[in-house]
Structure 1
Amino acid sequence: MTYAQRLSIIVALDSYLILVAVFFGFQFVQEAALTVYTFEMLAISSLSLLIGHHIFACMFHVYKQVWAYTGIRELFSLMKTFVCSFLFSMTMLYIFVQTWPFRFLFIVWLFHVLFIGASRMASRLFHDGAKRLQAEKERALIIGAGSAGTMLVRQLQQSSDVHIEPVAFIDDDKTKHKLEIMRLPVIGGKEHIQTAVVMMDIQKIIIAIPSKSSHTLKGLYKECVATGVKTQIMPEMDQILKGTHALNQLRDVQPEDLLGREPIQLDTSRLSVHLKGKTIMVTGAGGSIGSEICRQICVFAPQAIVLVGHGEFSIHSILLELKELYGGSISLYPQIADIQDKQKMSEIVGQFQPDMIYHAAAHKHVPLMEISPKEAVKNNIIGTKNVAEAAHEHGIETFVLISSDKAVNPANVMGATKRFAEMLIMQMGADSETKFVAVRFGNVLGSRGSVIPIFKKQIEQGGPVTVTHPAMTRYFMTIPEASRLVIQAGALAEGRQIFVLDMGEPVKIVDLAENLIHLSGYTTDQIPITFTGIRPGEKMYEELLNQHEKAQEQIFPKIHIGHALDGDPYVLNSFIHKFDMMSEEQMRQALFAAIESHDMLSDQMKREEEPPANEEKSLVLRNG
């Protein structure tokens, strides 16, 4: 139906109802014998009420409103139309017949309000009834009776596409308990969730608290899981305001929502100065971390990004994504190259002369690197050396190495190669104008080869979910968090530093597995967890800084720094020159020996720098 057709029908209906109101009003006053009205008065009353109603209905946009979604604002507009048309009719009667038949007009006005108001409400009731008949709706419990929760309820009540019927609120604000909001009762706090689910036959729980912290969500989710009912979250407010998500576009709770740590916030002003108009090179740009670094950097309007990667498909994918998002505003240069090719790395760095290099290319899978240790060395050490030397030779301002918490007191080849790479660039930074820094963080949720995709696949297959040990813990962070830390470290870099994120409390792997099972809609009885034992090269827990590293001032919220200590360059160079001639077992031993020798020398130098305890005491006494 077109707008003109709809308008014609509504105007005709309102005109008919007004004439009926005049007729009923006339009959009422005649039967009551209140007074006698002439034909002229009746004609002027009817005509003025008709004209006045249509004029003011247009003025207050009454005819443009969709009455299937009637609210307070729409009713207020209609009431203004009624009042103004009544006053207009009285004015016309006074002008033409010099009298005010107030009783008659007031009774007509009451019928006017009753008939037209009823027609609008009938439209709303018909619409609501039709929606209920369309499909059976899931009964939903809304957690959060604030502005976001009420907005969500209004949207769910009015939407015919979403088959969810909100039936009650849960909110910890005691002043709202036992009240009604949007015609829904506020039952109580989170301790009433399980009772509400049973008593009200709840089929879905929706968390509508956009400002929730991870700790708050973790506590709420525990209560929700205990009910066995599917739990979802409404989008964040900034996503709704930006238009990327609809208000009723609910999503499942994700593992990263339950980490119990607030995400890191960037120093956007400093990053804007540091990255705007610059040329940035990212190795491993097609990987999970490298690609996210590219996305985050693009927000700060660099002049160009050089996308270096070995896999053509992954580089092509991130290239297309960034082109679609940023068009011609940022120059993008894809480079298919292997970081083990020293000459090629030098050519790329020399050609594009980037202001910064983020080195994310690496082999990171612990068990696989135990099987192929030489490949780990070639990629993580030799490859890093090639890119770092190219940065030094061409006078690049900053080189950022993406490292790992497994580099601390390494117990596996992957961690050892990352530790060696850190030692290597710190040694190079001692005699270079390039600022060499490393960024160290824990496991990244959702990255390739991480535990989450493995657990999800096992759950899809019906289990069991395999965990190595019930006591094993790891630090976890999200891909965006890891990438933010990396680019923030680049802005804070002064040279020869190791940046470490305050990652909160370590998470038990078994707890993560249980949460993922519950998030998938199962219980641990349906999808069991089995323990397989610790694999070669794995540690029971991870560390972020070792005893040889100076730490721990916090130079930025949630970012700590450890300054590198000098070791013996001969030890590093000797291993690099000889590793290819060794067997895998010899190479493994030599790798760990080189790290141990470096740390011993660092520890010795640290002790030499510190005054003896008695000397320090005597200095204090003399100064006293």
Structure 2
Amino acid sequence: MKKDIHGLDVSRLLGRKPVIISKLYGASDYIRGQVVLITGAGGSIGSELALQVALHQPGKLLLLGHGENSIFSVDLILKDRFPDVPVESLIVDIQDELQLRDVFQRYKPQIVFHAAAHKHVPLMERNRIAAIQNNIWGTQNVATIAKQSGARKFIFISTDKAVYPANVMGATKRVSEMIIQQLSENSATQFAVVRFGNVLESRGSVIPIFKKQLARGGPLTVSHPDMVRYFMSIPEAVHLVLQAGSLSKGGELFILDMGEPIQIVELARALIREAGLEPDKDIAIQFIGIRPGEKVKESLTYDEERIAPSANPHISVIQPMPLNTDILSRNLKQLAKLTPQDADRAMQLLLRIIANNADDLSDGNESAE
């Protein structure tokens, strides 16, 4: 029997039990009574962060985002579910340094979760400068001002696409990881990076697309028959981000236990069956080819990164690779000279920054001058 597509329990598609611990040890200790700022608070991760942070009784919750409708929606939900939690909704572009400084001066946030990002891979391949401005310079703005303002903790949300990046989005996130690593040196603010893979039902991700295609009667479109991805549900990803925040002492890169990677075509078949239909009979699956910037398989770590367990069995700690901060600073100054006319060179420049070797961007970079 065909089921309501919008009411499907997609967490069952993970093929494992979601990672939810009955008690978030330490989370309440570092959140309760504190002013907590969430950037990208209108997004899939940011909005769930807001809801889970509210459970731990922050002194004030700051919802920062660029899109008024999404921030307004989260604000309404929070005020309905958590009327005792003071909430401020702030429409601010993270690229606007003056606006950000005003937010930190006015509200003095002690805990910052930085979830704001341009994340859609093919779209960012066509809008490379926008990805750099938002993901790199926006992150640098928020993190630098948080450090200068004396924030206690700063947790940056990264992605598996930052590992051996094949696209501009992933490359900008890896450069941002490096900026956080640089800022964490000799810092009173405890900086941490949390890296994880795809999130089920996040806005613009594969499950919402599949659901729309399913509602139309198919076909469900898949890039490549061998395409695999790591998946988590939105609540479990955010749950572990909060736990990583309690574990952080500063300078860590955490990765979350995402189970085994899942074949996208099998995910499509499972969703069709969950709807009470038969794959390839009631609903067709069509392979459309790999999109710009896509990889067949993602990885959560670089080969050179050393992984160690944490106090939480579902979270591992990566010892960051050595970073020459002088070279990074020089290269970032060169990247800042990139103009829209140089967009075709963006990926090349980003990969040279990621390499972080003595052959910095000042060599042969006249067109960016």
TM (norm. structure 2) is: 0.91
CA contact (8 A) 2:2 2:277 kept: no
The letter for the 2-side match of 1:350 is Q
Residues of 2 paired with 1:558 and 1:600: CA distance? 38
Residues of 1 paired with 2:193 and 2:338: CA distance? 29
Aligned mate of 1:567, from 309, 313, 323? 323
The letter for the 2-side match of 1:460 is A
Residues of 1 paired with 2:238 and 2:205: CA distance? 16
Bigger-Rg structure (1/2): 1
Residues of 2 paired with 1:260 and 1:556: CA distance? 21
Aligned mate of 1:486, from 236, 241, 262? 241
**Structure 1, residues 376-403: CA drift from partner, whole Å, max 9, x if none?**
1111100000000011101111100010
Residues 599 and 429 (structure 1 numbering): CA distance in 2 closer, same or farther, change over 3 Å? Answer: farther
Residues of 1 paired with 2:166 and 2:254: CA distance? 21
Residues of 2 paired with 1:511 and 1:311: CA distance? 34
Question: 3-state SS of the aligned residue for 1:514?
Answer: helix
Deviation at 1:598, TM superposition (A): 5.3
Question: 3-state SS of the aligned residue for 2:26?
Answer: helix
Q: 1:280 aligns to what?
A: 36
Residues 1:581 and 2:338 aligned together: yes
Matches within 5 A, 1:450-469: 450-469=205-224
Q: 2:351 aligns to what?
A: 592
**Structure 1, residues 442-490: CA drift from partner, whole Å, max 9, x if none?**
1011111100111111112222111011111000011111111111111
Question: 3-state SS of the aligned residue for 1:548?
Answer: coil
Deviation at 1:231, TM superposition (A): 7.7
Deviation at 1:344, TM superposition (A): 1.4
Residues 599 and 311 (structure 1 numbering): CA distance in 2 closer, same or farther, change over 3 Å? Answer: farther
Residues 567 and 271 (structure 1 numbering): CA distance in 2 closer, same or farther, change over 3 Å? Answer: same
Deviation at 1:321, TM superposition (A): 0.8
Q: 1:306 aligns to what?
A: 62
Matches within 5 A, 1:378-389: 378-389=133-144
The letter for the 1-side match of 2:68 is E
Aligned mate of 2:76, from 308, 320, 326? 320
Residues of 2 paired with 1:581 and 1:418: CA distance? 17
Question: 3-state SS of the aligned residue for 1:431?
Answer: coil
Question: 3-state SS of the aligned residue for 2:356?
Answer: helix
Q: 1:270 aligns to what?
A: 26
Residues of 1 paired with 2:326 and 2:127: CA distance? 25
CA contact (8 A) 1:261 1:503 kept: no
Deviation at 1:432, TM superposition (A): 1.6
CA contact (8 A) 1:439 1:485 kept: no
Residues of 1 paired with 2:307 and 2:194: CA distance? 14
Deviation at 1:600, TM superposition (A): 11
Residues of 1 paired with 2:235 and 2:77: CA distance? 16
Deviation at 1:575, TM superposition (A): 3.4
Residues of 1 paired with 2:223 and 2:306: CA distance? 33
| Unmatched segments (≥5 aa) in structure 2 | 361-369
The letter for the 2-side match of 1:539 is K
CA contact (8 A) 2:13 2:271 kept: no
The letter for the 2-side match of 1:534 is I
Residues 331 and 252 (structure 1 numbering): CA distance in 2 closer, same or farther, change over 3 Å? Answer: closer
CA contact (8 A) 2:332 2:353 kept: no
Residues of 2 paired with 1:475 and 1:598: CA distance? 30
Residues 548 and 454 (structure 1 numbering): CA distance in 2 closer, same or farther, change over 3 Å? Answer: same
Q: 1:369 aligns to what?
A: 124
Aligned mate of 1:496, from 251, 267, 270? 251
Residues 1:394 and 2:149 aligned together: yes
Aligned residue-pair number: 354
Residues of 1 paired with 2:189 and 2:26: CA distance? 20
Q: 1:529 aligns to what?
A: 285
Q: 1:431 aligns to what?
A: 186
CA contact (8 A) 2:3 2:275 kept: no
CA contact (8 A) 1:435 1:496 kept: yes
